[in-house]
Structure 1
Amino acid sequence: MMSKNEIAILGLLSESPMHGYQIHQEITRREMDYWAKIKLASIYTTLTRLEEGGLIKSEKEKVGNTPERTVYSITEKGRSGLSDMVEYFLREDDRPEWPFGLGVAFIQGAPRERVLAALHHRREKLTQCDLDLHDHLIKLKEQIPFNWFLLIENAHKHMKLELEWLDQLTAQVQAEPHWGLAWPPELKLKHQKAHEASTRALSTKAA
């Protein structure tokens, strides 16, 4: 299976032949290093691997007095591979890493004031990101292909939901009467009973 870097580069080359620096610029301009975690440092390694696999080809180009450069283009084999990977990624139910989720799961392990400060900091960053996405939508409407526009719109909608949810979490942290306890007394008792029942059921099944 291809890596994210490989499908990103094949996708860009399916739009137009490019040299390495152009690919770097496009990935940066479309912020694919951020939302798709495309590794800029390994672009040339990926190009070499794709060319060795026959998915792309290269030729030298010299324009005027500029230094000679290598221009890459996608092959028919590359287009076929790209088609397969597009279908795979659209179907795939991925589960991205979510370190923030771990922070929320064990949120009672930190002092309330530090948690609130961290959540406030996160909200400021997300708010700025939300504003940036909104500006992108206004600026790029009817200027980019529909799929790229909808990709930005999807991120914008998710960001708004994230901000609403973050406000709910912050309110709960502020109001929680048993701060510092992973399990409030009434819930801890229920949890223990459920755990004991599960243990007995497993023991009975094993016997």
Structure 2
Amino acid sequence: MLTNIELILLNFIKIKSSYAYEIERMIEEKGIRKWLKIGGPTVYQVLDRLSKKGILQVSLEKEGNMPQRKRYTLTSEGEELCQKSARDLLANIEPYYFDLTVGLACRFFLSEEEFRLVIQERLKKLNRFISDFNDEFNKVRELYPDKRLLVRRYLLSHYKLEQKFLRDLLNDTLINP
């Protein structure tokens, strides 16, 4: 099974054989770091690892005075592994590891007033985040009309659920049911 990072990188390469730098730019442009922890150096390391495993084919290219670059292409073995990994990710339930869960479990370190204040602050930040999330999506929607709608809807449903949860928490419906 592929890791989430591996699968996302392979997804880009399936769409278009690419250089690591191109993939890095696409990750940034599409806002993938909002829902997947992936650093720039990781892209290069993972691509090299996948090529050593035979999941990617590498061709070296040189243009003019530019340094030689590696263009990555998905192998048939890689394609099969991506299909299996995508099926598994879509069909199976995964546990959620949210920092908020730990914070709620440890809330008794705070006074009731301080707990309310930090929850109010989180709700304000979440409201801004949702607004920014929608604004950013609308900007890139012209570039990627339908491709990101499912991911956006899924993420937004989680953010809105947390928003409702925090509002209910502040209205005491969750603290004192």
TM-score range, shorter chain: 0.7 to 0.9
Distance 2:128 2:41 in 1: 27
CA distances 1:140-187 after superposition (whole Å, capped 9, x unpaired): 4464263521211222232222212111112229x86xxxxxxxxxxx
Which structure 2 residues correspond to residues 122-201 of structure 1 after superposition, within 5 A?
Answer: 122-141=122-141, 143-144=143-144, 146-172=146-172
- Give secondary structure in 2 for the equivalent of 1:172: coil
Aligned to 1:46: 46
Q: Return the structure number with greater helix share.
A: 1
Q: How far does residue 125 in structure 1 lie from its aligned partner after superposition?
A: 1.8
Distance 1:105 1:135 in 2: 33
Aligned to 1:89: 89
Give the number of the structure whose alpha-carbon radius of gyration is greater: 1
Distance 1:34 1:142 in 2: 19
CA distances 1:47-100 after superposition (whole Å, capped 9, x unpaired): 121111111111122233332211111111111111111101001101121221
Bigger RCO of structures 1 and 2 (CA < 8 A, at least 6 apart): 2
- Give secondary structure in 1 for the equivalent of 2:171: helix
- Give secondary structure in 2 for the equivalent of 1:146: coil
Q: How far does residue 37 in structure 1 lie from its aligned partner after superposition?
A: 2.4
Aligned length: 175
Distance 2:99 2:171 in 1: 21
TM-score with structure 2 length normalisation? 0.86
Do the aligned partners of residues 153 and 79 (structure 1) sit closer, same or farther apart at CA in structure 2, a change above 3 Å counting?
Answer: same
Q: CA RMSD in A?
A: 2.2
Q: Does 1:32 align with 2:22?
A: no
Greater displacement, 16-25 / 117-126: 117-126
Distance 1:103 1:172 in 2: 17
Aligned to 1:65: 65
Do the aligned partners of residues 145 and 80 (structure 1) sit closer, same or farther apart at CA in structure 2, a change above 3 Å counting?
Answer: farther
- Which amino acid is 1:82 matched to? C
Distance 1:93 1:123 in 2: 27
CA distances 1:179-206 after superposition (whole Å, capped 9, x unpaired): xxxxxxxxxxxxxxxxxxxxxxxxxxxx
- Give secondary structure in 1 for the equivalent of 2:26: helix
TM-score with structure 1 length normalisation? 0.75
Do the aligned partners of residues 41 and 121 (structure 1) sit closer, same or farther apart at CA in structure 2, a change above 3 Å counting?
Answer: farther
Give yes or no for contact 1:5–1:39 (8 Å, CA) kept in 2: no
